[in-house]
A and B are shown apart, each in its own frame.
Chain A
Amino acid sequence: MHRRASGGTLAIGSGSAYANDRLALAAAMADSGRVTYLGFDCLAERTMALAHVRRRRDPATGQDERIRRLVPLLRRFLAGGGRVVGNFGAANPDAAVADFVDGLGEAGLHEVRLGVIRGDDALDLVRSRDADLPELGTTVGALGDRVVSANAYIGAEPIVDCLRQDAQIVVGGRLADPSLFVGPICHELDWSLDDWEAVGHATMVGHLLECGVHSTGGNFEDPPYRVVPDPHRLGFPLAEVTEGSAVVTKLDGTGGAVDERTMKTQLFYEIHDPRTYLTPDVTADFSQVCVEDLGQDRVRLSGATGREWPSSLKVLVGVDQGYRATGEISYGGPGCVGRARRAEEILRAHLDELLDPADDVRIDLQGMNSLFGDKGAIADPVEVRLRLAVRTESEERARDAAHEVELLYFGPAGGGGVVTSVVPALGVTPAYVPRELVTLETEVVTS
């Protein structure tokens, strides 16, 4: 049997912030002896749709692609009774469990209990309801076959269900990021999932851990004003959670910082109204959170609360957008901006011939206007890089457009360093469905 958290404290660590995160950081957290749970967020908005495209090509795929490499790194942690929760399933939770079972066998770990959560795939549901797509101003039905996937964000309930059945590894599809931590916290500390204040607090902890090094000095430095030690050795955060407060910290010997600033920036990352952060578990309220820097990379957070969960679940709908072509070329030295603008004129003349009026075209001069638009007169830079981006239904037109950037080698003088790419363009957009229409099931299997 797995032990309950002693003294009403649970130590839980971050294991991944996205699908391509560093496995070594998960291994370091697992082997630290500091945590009994690891939460793995493996998904971003586009990751789900891309996973569905992979599964369409090969029905045995669509899961996180790191599992077989990850399991041996967790061998000691799992052998010691540590538990793992993650949305490794992506578009195919059963395939993720199969990878875990194979990996566990290879690592010499036997009779491990694995919980699988199914039912977040909402494609049939949004099709049958002809769900609205508010950001696109259309509906699922109107887009027909261009809708390639739909997954409901699901919460901590099925995670707790698996943990109660003594699952040591819990795998789901589009489990919401903070829920990966809310499940273990509420299970271990015996917090009811309709104790909205407690779930709001657990959601804050999840929000601080699910982005990995975003809490320890990643996406933060701005020299000379803001600098952290050893940014090449950032480690994942962990939290010591008790009723009403949590201390976030990081492993000794890792770089970066956990301080008032790194906590505040992550606390409100991707938050809109701080009183109303909607997740499948709760309407969380971070507006009254106190951030207390205890020094030595320890910060205590308290004051998060919550109200009843939203009546709808958000569904992320994947939409086939055709192809995206990009191409870049650099100009340097005196007059480089003038030559880049000349190249833009040439490019537009060719694209007018090649492309359909419905195709989207964007041309930027990196170094001048690509991030914030034209900001008026800028002194002539030493170099500038022209970037073309095109979206079109036609792969052939996408390739032709990218090729036009390559042909700028024969345009204005001194153009160099052409890079082009053509990739399928897959969009994701939200829909909303009544939560009771999303039916989840859990199953616990033994490896």
Chain B
Amino acid sequence: MRLREIAYSRSGDKGDVSNVCVFVDDPADYPLIVERLTAHRVRAHFGGLVEGDVVRYELPIVHGLNFVLDRALGGGVSMTLRVDPHGKSFQSHVLDMEI
């Protein structure tokens, strides 16, 4: 099953750091994403897009996870030559993960 079927997300940028937060539609699915959506797997999914570490923060009250991707925007919005300098599309990329 793809994450997109049970969750929604948003990505934001600050300098060269992207955050991607993910929330489940049904609170009953929260333990599943805590187990399956590890920082390690997210790091692997984003591959060469992320040069630094991925840190995960759990948000149990709102049934979400916040991933902070360091050095993930090719030098930052104003420096990068990437098509999507803000990493706006990262929120869609994470939802493609198989859980």
Contact = CB atoms under 8 A, between A and B. Distances in A.
A400 to B, nearest CB: 17
Interface of A: 45-46, 49, 135, 219-220, 222, 225-226, 261, 264-274, 287-291, 303, 321, 324, 360-362, 364, 366, 370-373, 387, 389-391, 425-430
Contacts of A266: 10
Contact of B83 (A135, A289, A366, A429): A366
Given A226-B8, A271-B19, A360-B81, 19 more contacts: A45-B15, A45-B78, A135-B76, A222-B4, A222-B95, A264-B62, A265-B23, A269-B12, A269-B19, A272-B57, A274-B57, A291-B62, A364-B83, A371-B93, A372-B89, A425-B78, A427-B75, A427-B76, A430-B15
B17 A272 contact: yes
B12 A270 contact: yes
B81 A274 contact: no
A18 B23 CA distance: 26
Nearest to B62: A264
Contacts of B48: 373
B35 interface: no
A242 B9 CA distance: 29
Contacts of A265: 8-10, 21, 23
B57 A273 contact: yes
Contact of B15 (A49, A425, A429): A429
A425 B80 CA distance: 10
B5 A225 contact: yes
A308 B59 CA distance: 22
Name A's interface SS: mixed
A362 B74 CA distance: 11
Interface string B40-69: 000000111100000101010110101010
Contacts of B19: 268-272
A371 B78 contact: no
Interface of B: 4-5, 8-10, 12-17, 19, 21, 23, 25, 46-49, 55, 57, 59, 61-62, 64, 66, 68, 75-79, 81-84, 88-89, 92-93, 95
B57 to A, nearest CB: 6
Contacts of A46: 77-78
Given A272-B19, A389-B81, A372 B10 contact: no
Nearest to A324: B81
A265 B23 CA distance: 8
A264 B84 contact: no
A219 B57 contact: no
Contacts of A426: 78
10 contacts: A222-B95, A225-B8, A270-B13, A271-B12, A272-B68, A289-B62, A290-B62, A360-B81, A370-B84, A428-B78
A268 B5 contact: no
Given A219-B10, A272-B68, A373-B48, A261 B78 contact: no
Contacts of A261: 8, 23, 25
A214 B46 CA distance: 24
Contacts of A273: 57, 68
Nearest to A225: B4
Contact of B8 (A222, A289, A291, A389): A222
> 9 tightest A-B contacts by CB?
A270-B12, A389-B81, A265-B10, A268-B21, A362-B81, A370-B83, A269-B12, A427-B78, A427-B79
A371 B84 contact: yes
A220 B82 CA distance: 22
B59 A274 contact: yes
A219 B21 CA distance: 13
Nearest to B96: A372
A429 B76 contact: yes
Contacts of B83: 364, 366, 370-371, 387
Nearest to A44: B77
Given A225-B5, A225-B8, A291-B62, A269 B21 contact: yes
Given A373-B49, A427-B76, A390 B59 contact: no
